Chains A and B, each alone.
Chain A
Amino acid sequence: MKNISALILFLILTSPFLKGQQLPENYGNIPDELVAYDKYQKAYKYHFITPIQFYGAGREKLPPKDLKEVRIGFLGPLEGSNIVSLGTQMLQGSMLAIEDANEKGGYNGIPYKLMVHNDVGLWGAAANEIVKMDDEKVWAWLGSIDDIVSHVALRATLKLEIPMICTGDPDPTFTETNIPWVIRNIPDDRQSCYALVDYIFKKKGHSRVAVIRANNRYGRVGTLHFNRSSTRIGYPVIIEERFGDGETDFSTQMERIKKTSPDAILIWGNAKESGLIVNQLRSMGMNQPVFGSDRMVNPEFLNIAGKNASGIVTTCQYNPDSDDPEYKAFKASYMKRFGQEPDVFAAHAYDGMNLIIAAIEKAGLNRALIRDVLTDLKTFQGYDGVTGPMIFDATWNNIRPIFMAEFINGKFKFAPAPPLEKDEAIYKKTNIGY
């Protein structure tokens, strides 16, 4: 007892000497057992625990006089991209919010105008579009979906100091750039990966999971935390295969996966390729449970996969079947205006554009002040959008709980992702080799 007391006293007295170390808090809803290196040592520096500030000038600028329109930028894949259908939904969601605001009188009687820019997915092209937005004198902008485009645009928006809301790119590293000019209202793939790891390994008891993913940044970064987390809990992915955008024959990858005898398969890619992969899996007699990214929650995927979609489980950033009156009103309004159901990109764009409009109406026409309102972690903390609440962390990333989607009886059934199970037996070794 005396020795224990002395040890406690020693630790208390010497703790200030642990040079540079800070008390870790879990950023990004990271489960305790998945905090990087935590089993072995504390990190010297934990980032993203508190939000960084913007110390630059600009708040003193007076609003311009004689404005005829209040411009807000939009960047999305509208032509020349393989995700045009997603970009179109995002544009429509943005348009609906702008139209709603203009019906209410715009900004002090001045109408909002959407300055639409296409992202073609080519390296660097987005940077040029943000410069054009600056030349157009937009007050803030919304976009995009492709994570390459979003990153390139983010760098330009920092240089030009234009507030940005990302409503479609779930790349976890996007907000981990520490840029105080962007917020993201769509939950990211870090949250999806934690939910999938928990569901696949702990709740469903699988141990040999094969991954087939898009051979691009979306696939690589999207599955990053799935791979890391599954390894940390003792079930490393047994094989990872990749495919290119537009690829239609996956037999080579499927053969390699089949030889490893997985007990579950995770697909991470766009709707079309994911649907084709599911069909080829089943045609090869591979009847393992299939899990996937949220991009499977898409009519194109269902059209291609048909009955083969049965039993597939994915994550989804919100509940498209929500009974929330505001969401139902948005859905009805959207269907009336555009003749189709809104998807995840439309709904989050609608919320994101409403955030921009609310920030402008609170802060006035000054980019720095609009930024301040968007990032103060007070004004919009807990904001209830049609997609659900917004719970922003210190990187202004929405870390609200996400949903699981299971395809049953011809439709996706959505349910909140169950709380993550704390695994006391972490770092256990799997007995199954590969």
Chain B
Amino acid sequence: MKRIFSKKTILYTLILIIIAVLVVLILTMDNKSDDSRKISAADNDYPDFTTIESMEKLARGSELAKGSEQMPVYGNWKTFTEKDGLPSDKVYTVRIDGNRVLAGTHDGLAVYEKGKWRTYTTGDGLAHNGVVSIDVSVNTGDVWIGTLSGLSRWSGGKFETFNQFNSGMPNDLVYNVFCYGNDVWVATGGGAGHYNTFTKEWEIFTEQNAPMHEPWTYALSAGDGKVWIAAWGGGVIEYNTLTKQFRDYVDPDGFMEIDLQPDDGVIHDITTATSYADSILWVSTYFGMSRYDGKFWKGYFDHDSGLASNFINFLRAEGPVVFVCSDNGLSSFNGKTWVTYKKFDNSTDGQAIVKDGNTLVMEMPLSPSIAHNFTIGVDAEDDVLWVATSKGVCRGELLKN
């Protein structure tokens, strides 16, 4: 023991500690400069070479983008369950459509309008009562509904069903639907595809004509002329609608059991959703989240960021903010600051946890809180945020101060 703590040893140790601290500080500064570089790249106004994005912004408003220079925090949560008129507490998806809100539940489509819920089921013409995805065409106002057994178009008060037997649908289980221009894109258990509402034709993408090992598609999003398909097990498939070319993004390390480097590409091949806004592509997986600015990837895990959990069901980006639906809370993030909403066990209360990177800034009490920590769907517009959970759907209001 005496030998270990001799004067020279202590001196060497101190020198080494100083060097180590300096190295850590330098690395941290590097990371910060990387982040700011990516964010400022994202802030550039990329030209819209189609008008779809601008139409979307116009239709859905841009208040969120303005307000999120500081991260928006939502409170005054109101939860809706079967007691309030929902057909089921299990809510897969939620979409704001003007003055009404559409919620997809296990037992039907629920529409919230003028303070009341109304349910639509197969009895009304819906393809299946299990509604897992909803999108609204900004061109026509038609509501497109992905169900557990077919795709429904709700237009003029009538439902029209598309399935494998009466159309070119790749599979009846429609995990995700996304309207982009004249096209309605679907991600299904048997491939992705899009329906041109003008020509009334389907085009299907599977392992036969796209760079995916298997066509297990789970979600998709689009913007700036590109479509990003979350291929479950195949990473992200990018499709350029102008050139009709594909490229894929997979985890470069090639192993399911590790992530070698968090920033070398998409962090895992089991992708669950993509969302594109402000020239940033966000990708969720059951292992964490990735952000891609067109040049650099960055990975986020629950141990090194404000992410509520690595198991992410869905995400949606609105302006610079991405809302992340995990199995253990709802997170939001603008590339710098995290706000994560968590409900306490056996209580209606909870908190919003604000983090700068992985540094805790504050824990804001919320009474009441979100409906449930198992979040599945989300939509934001202006000063409200709707969240679909496994125990109801809830609505939060932007806290002004």
Contact = CB atoms under 8 A, between A and B. Distances in A.
Given A41-B260, A124-B170, A128-B173, A155 B216 contact: yes
The main secondary structure of chain B at its interface with chain A is: loop
Interface string B77-112: 000000000000110100000000000000000000
B261 A44 contact: yes
Nearest to A177: B270
B238 interface: no
Nearest to B189: A127
Contacts of A134: 130, 148
B304 A20 contact: yes
Contact of A37 (B214, B253, B267, B309): B253
Interface string B109-134: 00000000000000000001010100
Interface stretch (B9-17, B63-71, B240-248, B361-369): B9-17
Given A5-B3, A17-B20, A217-B214, A36 B9 contact: no
A52 B311 contact: yes
A56 B374 CA distance: 5
B35 to A, nearest CB: 14
B75 to A, nearest CB: 22
A55 B90 contact: no
B390 A58 contact: yes
A30 B295 CA distance: 35
A43 B191 CA distance: 32
Contacts of A37: 253, 255, 258, 260
Interface stretch (A8-16, A263-271, A324-332, A351-359): A8-16
B253 A55 contact: no
Contact of A55 (B148, B256, B373): B373
Interface string A374-390: 00000000000000000
A429 interface: no
Contacts, number: 180
Interface residues of A, number: 55
A23 interface: no
B257 A176 contact: yes
B128 to A, nearest CB: 7
B328 interface: yes
Contacts of A45: 258-259, 262, 267, 287-288, 301
A55 B270 CA distance: 20
B304 A159 contact: no
Given A123-B190, A124-B191, A159-B175, A2 B327 contact: no
Contacts of B213: 217, 220
Interface of A: 1-3, 5-6, 9-10, 13-14, 17, 19-20, 27-28, 30, 36-37, 41, 43-48, 52-58, 122-128, 131, 134, 148, 151-152, 155-156, 159-160, 172-173, 176-179, 217, 220
Interface of B: 3-4, 6, 8-9, 12-13, 16-17, 20, 24, 27, 89-90, 92, 128, 130, 132, 148-149, 170-173, 175, 188-191, 206-207, 213-216, 218, 232-233, 253, 255-262, 267-268, 270, 286-288, 301, 303-304, 309, 311, 327-328, 372-374, 389-391
